[in-house]
Amino acid sequence: MKRNLLSSVIIAALISTSLVACDDNKEDKPATQSTEQAAEKTESPASSAPEFDSNTVLNQKLNVYIECYNTLQTAINRNVHGYADKLADFRAGPTGQEPNLSLMGPVYPAFISDCRNDIKRVAQLKPNFEPLDSAALAFSDAAPALATTINDMNKYYDQQDYKDDSFAGAKAFHKKFISQYDAFGPIAKNYIENINIMSRERSVNDIKATEQKEGKSIKYYTLLTILEAETINDGVYRDDFDVASVSKQLADFGDHIKQLSEKVNADIDKHRSFPGYISELEKFQAAVKKRLRRVRDKVAYDEHDTYMINNGNSRLVEGTHAAVVDAYNDLIDTYNSYHLEREF
């Protein structure tokens, strides 16, 4: 499949701290300042009751918005990729010569109805968070139409109805699908961008509040390293990223991993889940170093690398952004599954 034909973004499952994983199809983002510097420049949340209520509402909204994006968009994306993989030309659609055009499974009606209802419910909570709330409502309004078409296409291909209509139905479905997909893509993109903006803002505030309350503790370094990983992952997306800036971020990241590890090892009996998390931090660190060296040293992809990249296996090629993303997603999965917050 020609991956550049699709504007896809998938984020991994996350918990209340809003840890977001992603894929390598992203808009260009410049390398940013270190997360620790950003935390230092961010005002800490006020301690008044209204601000606490505001933060609680934001948490409720983000958790719903992220969960709905994960479930509904992931199901849609899986089908879009499965469909596109089988087409010689994604935009032109089926020719009738494809050996198998079944998609990748249904977008469950429960995903559609639950997300629509849950998003509308939390979007009404006060205070409003714009443009996040509007982006979420737009997503919940646009996703069902594309999801329904995908389900209809799945049924059409699974029952092999194209054998009865000389692919007329397949071509009609494709025209409808492309129209809805093109309309939905920018809405989904705007939605995840707004989620990421608010999620990052909340995370930076959490880091600042944690440092004020308990100093540079295990919790502080855990929140800091996971946010630094996100910043670095975004920063090495383009092949012309600022090598000096990313090198500095990576050095700070390595120092913070070391400091976290020392604190964990000082009382390992109380933090038995942390070595696994630290291991994933170091694997991500290694993947970024390989990416950095390839770009810094202008190392070209050899014939085998190019073959792997062109066949959708970029994550298996050292020095690609996809390989960094793969390590980042493993890091997020580890954080979420280990429930490290129980050992802070």
| pLDDT given at position 330 | 92
Rounded to two decimals, the pTM is: 0.70
| pLDDT given at position 52 | 45
Q: Could you give the angle at the alpha carbon of 230 between the alpha carbons of 226 and 233, nearest 5°?
A: 130
Measured in whole angstroms, how far is the alpha carbon of residue 318 from the centre of its chain? 21
| Average pLDDT value for residue range 39-68 | 67
| pLDDT given at position 76 | 92
CA distance 252 to 288: 13
Q: Which long-range contacts (CB under 8 A, 24 or more apart) does 162-165 make?
A: 162/96, 162/101
18: part of which helix (H) or strand (E)? Answer: none
Q: What is the DSSP string of 269-326?
A: GG-TTHHHHHHHHHHHHHHHHHHHHHHHTTPPP-HHHHHHHHTT-GGGSTTSHHHHHH
- 269-314 pLDDT, tens digit each: 899 899 999 999 999 999 999 999 999 999 999 999 999 988 778 8
Q: Could you give the angle at the alpha carbon of 205 between the alpha carbons of 129 and 223, nearest 5°?
A: 120
- 167-187 pLDDT, tens digit each: 999 999 999 999 999 999 999
Ranges of H-type helices in the chain: 35-41, 49-68, 74-85, 109-123, 132-158, 162-165, 168-214, 218-235, 243-266, 274-296, 303-310, 321-338
Higher pLDDT, 23 or 30: 23
CB-based burial, 261-276: b 16+ in 10 Å, e otherwise: bebbeeeeeebebbee
